[in-house]
Amino acid sequence: MNFKPLGDRLLVERIEEASTTSSGIIIPDNAKDKPSQGKVIAVGSEVEEVKVGDTIVFGKYAGTEITIDNTVYLIMEQSDALGILS
């Protein structure tokens, strides 16, 4: 993949949540919320607080989905990231 976000944008790959609860109940795909965590794959030249490889938390409706090489990514502005998980 060769994609460079412009300005203060991030390219993020969602991190899927577990499909089974701690008690062993399987959650069907149509009942799951979209994950609100993701791994930063690429950053624009104006991004200062986030770097490639960081795991970030973002709002439920943040970003725009795009598909590159059969993988779905989100493009979002740096301000859409709510925090960095460590």
| pLDDT score for 86 | 87
Q: In the predicted model, what is the mean pLDDT of the chain?
A: 87
- Counting residues of the chain whose pLDDT is more than 70, the rounded percentage is 77
Using an 8 Å Cβ cutoff, are 7 and 75 in contact?
A: no
Residues sharing a CB contact under 8 Å with residue 23, sequence separation 6 or more, in sequence order: none
Task: Tell me the per-residue pLDDT of 18-53, one tens digit each, with 9 for 90 and over.
Answer: 556 567 676 655 545 566 899 999 999 999 999 999
Using an 8 Å Cβ cutoff, are 12 and 76 in contact?
A: yes
Q: Specify the amino acid at residue 10.
A: L
Q: Give the mean pLDDT of 69-80.
A: 95
**b/e per residue 6-44 (b: at least 16 CB within 10 A):** eebbbbbebeeeeeeeeeeeeeeeeeeeeebebebbbbb
Considering the domain 9-16+30-85 in this protein, what is its CATH number? 2.30.33.40
Residue spans per domain, the chain: 9-16+30-85
| pLDDT score for 16 | 75
